[in-house]
Structure 1
Amino acid sequence: MKNILSLKDISYSYNSNKSVLEDVNIDFKKGKFYTIVGPSGSGKTTLISLACGLDVPSSGEIFYMEESLKNISLEKYRNKFVSIIFQGYNLLNYLSAIENITAAMNIKGIKTSNNKEFAIDMLNRVGITKEQGMQKTLTLSGGQQQRVAIARALCCDSDLIIADEPTGNLDEETSKEIISLFKDIVETENKTVIMVTHDTKIASMSDETFLVKEKSVNKLFYK
């Protein structure tokens, strides 16, 4: 199975003297659901920022589909190949849920026969009705806003979805529904999901889990 994302000999330091990650090597396969766990301040967000192309390593190299991000360019990688889901949703509150999605599609240059209908269909898939989709996102609940953020990521048609604690602000039942949605996306669309979580129960539901601790990243085995 081909690696969709590989981190090779990755190290990262702040201000050239505070080391956060050292000699990290991870391969992520296509069509898998991964979780990343670790203590607060261990470097989980740094790892995700590197994987998203939002930051660059101090040393080492990152590959997407076996091509270096240095060759792809970070801007192209972020725009075309990876979708990011933030804990804070990062939705435009003055726009409706549908408009949030179509705006993201326009930015990424994605055109369908009808982007609005495409967005409505995707919202329905994640449990948001057309009526809810027409509401401004600030009127939706936290769980609904997270579903909109997931629908936005799916509409951008990236094979790689990276999520930074998307269930961190949600109740247990809604969190389970979001994880079930991720698992369904992986299984039915052969996408790769990499998700940071602090919840070991959620982590145990993924295909593989990595622990970030003491500047290193190691695979955990729950099953």
Structure 2
Amino acid sequence: MATHAVRLNAVTKTYGKEVYALRGVTVDLPRGGFTAVMGPSGSGKSTFLHCAAGLDTPTSGTVHIGETELSRMNETQLTELRREKAGFVFQAFNLIPSLSVVDNVLLPFRLAGTRPDHAWLAEVIERVGLGERARHRPSQLSGGQQQRVAIARALVTRPEVVFADEPTGALDTQTAAEVLALLRQVVDTTGQTVVMVTHDPVAASYADRVLFLAGGALVDEVYAAGPETIARRMAVLGRPEAVRC
């Protein structure tokens, strides 16, 4: 089994002839790790996540999830791969208002036409702290609880990697801390892999490793860093000369 959950090799993404969203990014994201991706606005963070997750296709270079190379797959195969090997958590919770917590968590199985492991389903709902609210609808939950439903939905298929795009962007500080602690716990207790794009140094400090992008290029990384260290590095990346790296 590959030691990486995700591998990008010389990945470039261009729009038109001159707009580079990514410039030759090469990086391995290890299994069982929590990686945060940061950078100034327009640095390529979202494009990085979309290419890594198979939501977008690089202009050149290769992307692997586990041992599977995405560039060799058609759209139908990519859709199946995302259902089987990737979980997604976004800033918008993307819950269906008419469905209960349990039914929202079960959506990936309904879409795939497969049966869930009910013991694992129950465990995941307990892990995210919603055991007593399993039959509630989204309108009966707080924002933080709705994001917990989204995290449970991402975990219930046992994906190789969970991709999170600004998962705390719509939450207040205390609720955001609870959600980030949950993601940290998921990595530490189940060996899950999490890749998170964020603009927040505090959120990034929950990760084992922080990758910094500027001008579409991977320019730096830090390990086990606190919010102050991350914020200082981000301040440097915000300068014009950093974007030309």
Give TM-score, length-normalised by structure 2.
Answer: 0.83
Deviation at 1:120, TM superposition (A): 4.1
Distance 2:98 2:29 in 1: 36
Q: Secondary structure at the match of 2:106?
A: helix
Deviation at 1:185, TM superposition (A): 1.1
Counterpart for residue 14 of structure 2 = 13
Relative to structure 1, the CA distance from residue 65 to residue 129 in structure 2 (aligned partners, 3 Å threshold; closer, same or farther) is closer
Counterpart for residue 124 of structure 1 = 126
Distance 1:67 1:119 in 2: 26
Deviation at 1:67, TM superposition (A): 3.0
Deviation at 1:112, TM superposition (A): 4.0
Distance 1:166 1:3 in 2: 23
Cα deviation digits, residues 77-124 of structure 1 (max 9, x gap): 2111111111101111121111111222232354346x4x65344222
- Determine what percentage of the aligned residue pairs are the same residue: 34
- The answer (yes or no) to whether the contact 2:6–2:64 under 8 Å persists in 1 is yes
Distance 1:218 1:189 in 2: 31
Cα deviation digits, residues 43-96 of structure 1 (max 9, x gap): 111111111111100111101223311345422221111111111011111211
Counterpart for residue 221 of structure 2 = 220
Q: Secondary structure at the match of 1:84?
A: strand
Give TM-score, length-normalised by structure 1.
Answer: 0.91
Counterpart for residue 133 of structure 1 = 134
| One-letter code aligned to 1:126 | V
Distance 2:3 2:220 in 1: 19
Deviation at 1:198, TM superposition (A): 1.1
- The answer (yes or no) to whether the contact 2:42–2:215 under 8 Å persists in 1 is no
Distance 1:28 1:68 in 2: 15
Distance 1:112 1:46 in 2: 31
Q: How does 1:42-191 map to 2 (within 5 A)?
A: 42-71=43-72, 73-112=77-116, 115=118, 118-130=120-132, 132-191=133-192
Cα deviation digits, residues 189-209 of structure 1 (max 9, x gap): 111100111111221221100
Q: Secondary structure at the match of 2:64?
A: strand
Counterpart for residue 229 of structure 2 = none
Relative to structure 1, the CA distance from residue 109 to residue 136 in structure 2 (aligned partners, 3 Å threshold; closer, same or farther) is same
Distance 2:168 2:157 in 1: 21
Counterpart for residue 235 of structure 2 = none
- CA RMSD in angstroms comes to 1.9
- The answer (yes or no) to whether the contact 2:66–2:160 under 8 Å persists in 1 is no
Q: Secondary structure at the match of 1:173?
A: helix
- With 91-100 and 61-70 compared, the bigger mean Cα shift is at 61-70
Deviation at 1:142, TM superposition (A): 1.0
Distance 1:211 1:51 in 2: 15
Number of positions where the alignment pairs a residue of Structure 1 with one of Structure 2 = 220
Distance 2:8 2:124 in 1: 31
| One-letter code aligned to 1:84 | F
Distance 1:39 1:163 in 2: 18
Deviation at 1:165, TM superposition (A): 0.5
- The answer (yes or no) to whether the contact 2:45–2:197 under 8 Å persists in 1 is yes
Distance 1:212 1:77 in 2: 26
Distance 1:45 1:159 in 2: 20
- The answer (yes or no) to whether the contact 1:110–1:156 under 8 Å persists in 2 is no
